[in-house]
Amino acid sequence: MRQYYPVMIDLNGKKIVVIGGGAVATRKIGGLLMSGAEITVISPSVTDQIKQWAYENYIKWLPSKFEGKHNIQDAFLVFAATNNVKVNREISQMASSFQLLNIVDHPQLSNFIVPSTFTRGKLSVSVSTSGSYPGLSKKIKQELLQIYDESYEEYVGFLEQCRAEILKNISDPQTRSRIFEKLLDPIFLELTKKGNYQERNNLFLSMILQ
């Protein structure tokens, strides 16, 4: 049985083409906006949100039906998100084998799928059933949203700063490992949730000064 390989991709500066302008395309584009990718949308009509993104120059919109004249060969990633099954199949046939391609209504013609994802700052949490039942992924995502609440954005930022300080000031590998492990003590998350940042920071300083 084929298994998908989960991976985080740096799309900064990459060309992405989204064909379609409805609700599905809007969701796909929304998830791409912070990636730094160069996004082009091809569709005769689009949602108001896509129009707004185009007006603000976050994306480029080509207001026409997809045709053979539209070159998608130089795109790193392609989303076929039209409501026309025939057009979506034509797109799959035009794409090169080395391109990342997602046909929203036909996973079998795609070489990647998008998991249900949410972020808390630099923390990204994704859930997938490998396309077998997307509704379950969305349900689990909603449950995880309650566990990993907004406080995790501050918490992950704190851990990132601590890691930089440890790498800068402590050269012994064993000491580093010991402090990295201690930083995952629940007390640091608890203090973050309570907003006791000074107490949290002092606790960390006491660890590296020992």
- pLDDT band at 122, cuts 50/70/90? very high
Residues 6+ apart with CB under 8 A from 120: 148, 149, 150, 152, 153, 156
Question: Does residue 128 register a pLDDT over 90?
Answer: yes
Asked whether residue 1 carries a pLDDT value surpassing 70, the answer given is: no
User: Could you give the 3-state DSSP secondary structure of residue 193?
Assistant: helix
Give domain 15-114's CATH architecture.
Answer: 3-Layer(aba) Sandwich (3.40)
Instruction: Give the Cα separation of 109 and 75 in Å (integer).
Output: 17
Question: For residue 141, is pLDDT > 70?
Answer: yes
Task: Quote the CA–CA distance of 165 and 208 in Å, as a whole number.
Answer: 9
Mean pLDDT, rounded, for 114-138: 92
Q: By C-alpha distance, which of 100, 64, 99 is closest to 82? A: 64
Q: At what angle do helices 173-182 and 151-169 cross, to 10 degrees?
A: 160
Over residues 36-82, the pLDDT tens digits come to 999 999 999 999 999 999 999 999 999 999 987 788 989 999 999 99
For range 156-165, the mean pLDDT: 96
In the predicted model, what is the mean pLDDT of the chain?
93
**Domain locations in the chain?**
15-114, 151-208
What is the model's pLDDT at position 107? 81
Give the C-alpha separation, 67 to 75, whole Å. 16
